[in-house]
């Protein structure tokens, strides 16, 4: 429990024995400690004004614990586990009929029966997406200003957006409040149905994509802000005319490709065409697994697609895609 200056732990959550505990125990122990220390700033130095904005405490601790763990255990690549531990939990909870927004009205303390996966995991996921949109340097600078401006005080979500807006590199295109409002005040999440003619959505979506992986992969970022909007992209021969949508799985949404494109991606991954497995990040590879299985579960894609895609796992050496698929 993150009491200010006096954190309390269960022994099982804090103690690690080098000769008896597993690597997973060590990882969990460090993550819990990092989470609670993060609360000294997000939750204690700056506190949510009311239960409606609880995510300002918990989502930040859930997200920033990854950076803290990576700074201590530099060889773990701990962020590679984010899709397995946070995104997957958030998607599962948020696809339920009982889901709720990250921010919702709470009249009495007794009503604060939040689904933890929404406040913690979805909250962390949209913060990850927001850091990608802003860039790490601008994001961190804005958070520093947010803490300094509100230290020893209480805040609401709009105050976070106000500080982030000051470092918004895309201000001419979209405001932070406009971008993030749908992600925090609506339950559920969008899926992008990609076609060659007319992709549409009703969310403000940071639409990112790779159109080439070599000689280097550079993410392109555009914003979908209208109910009906067409984005024209010239594809590159190095990816056989394909686009990898949602680079590094930074966005909290699903992507449904045309059937022909799913087939091409499956062939490329199963056969490791042009060493594509090493060119795509762990999160990109995991992203295909998550999208295909969740879309199939929703009846938007044949189960033949994720099952065929799973054939590539015989070449996969990282834990996260395997864990998500299983």
Only one residue has tokens 């925090």, namely: 184
DSSP output for 201-257: -SS-EEEEEES--SS----EEEEE-SSB--------GGGTT--EESGGG-SSSEEE-
CB 262 within 8 A of CB 310: no
Work out the number of other CB atoms within 10 angstroms of the CB of residue 70.
16
Centroid of chain to Cα 251 = 6
Annotated active-site residue in 2, 36, 131, 250: 36
The residues, any chain, with a CB within 8 Å of residue 113's CB and separated by 6 or more, are: none
The Cα-based distances of 159 to 165, 173, 279, 312 in angstroms read: 10, 21, 39, 45
The residues, any chain, with a CB within 8 Å of residue 296's CB and separated by 6 or more, are: 302, 303, 305, 306
Q: Tokens representing 76? A: 């773990």
Q: Examine the residue annotation and report whether 36 is marked as an active-site residue of this protein.
A: yes
**Stretch (H or E) spanning 102:** none
Residues with catalytic function: 36
């Amino acid at each position: 429990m993150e009491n200010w200056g006096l954190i309390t732990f269960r022994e099982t959550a804090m103690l690690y024995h080098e000769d008896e505990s597993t690597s997973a125990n060590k990882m969990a122990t460090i993550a819990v400690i990092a989470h609670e220390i993060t609360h000294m700033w997000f939750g204690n130095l700056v506190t949510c004004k009311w239960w409606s904005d609880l995510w300002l405490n918990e989502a930040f601790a859930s997200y920033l614990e990854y950076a803290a763990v990576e700074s201590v255990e530099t060889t773990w690549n701990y962020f590679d586990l984010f899709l397995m531990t946070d995104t997957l939990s958030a998607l599962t909870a948020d696809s339920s009929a009982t889901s709720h927004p990250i921010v919702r009205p709470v009249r009495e303390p007794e009503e604060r029966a939040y689904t933890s996966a929404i406040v913690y995991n979805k909250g962390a996921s949209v913060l990850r997406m927001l850091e990608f949109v802003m860039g790490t340097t601008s994001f961190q600078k804005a958070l520093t200003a947010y803490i300094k401006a509100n230290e020893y005080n209480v805040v609401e979500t709009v105050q976070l957006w106000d500080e982030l807006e000051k470092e918004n590199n895309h201000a001419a295109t979209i405001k932070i409040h406009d971008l993030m409002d749908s992600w925090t005040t609506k339950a559920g999440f969008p899926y992008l149905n990609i076609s060659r003619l007319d992709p549409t959505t009703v969310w403000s979506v940071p639409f990112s994509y790779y159109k080439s992986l070599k000689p280097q992969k550079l993410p392109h970022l555009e914003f979908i802000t209208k109910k009906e909007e067409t984005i024209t992209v010239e594809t590159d021969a190095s990816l056989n005319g394909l686009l990898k949508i949602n680079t590094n799985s930074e966005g909290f949404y699903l992507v449904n490709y045309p059937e022909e494109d799913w087939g091409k991606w499956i062939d490329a991954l199963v056969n490791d065409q042009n060493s594509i497995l090493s060119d795509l990040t762990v999160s990109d590879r995991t992203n295909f697994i998550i999208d295909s299985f969740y879309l199939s579960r929703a009846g938007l894609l044949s189960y033949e697609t994720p099952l065929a895609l799973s054939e590539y796992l015989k070449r996969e050496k990282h834990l996260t895609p395997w864990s998500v698929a299983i």
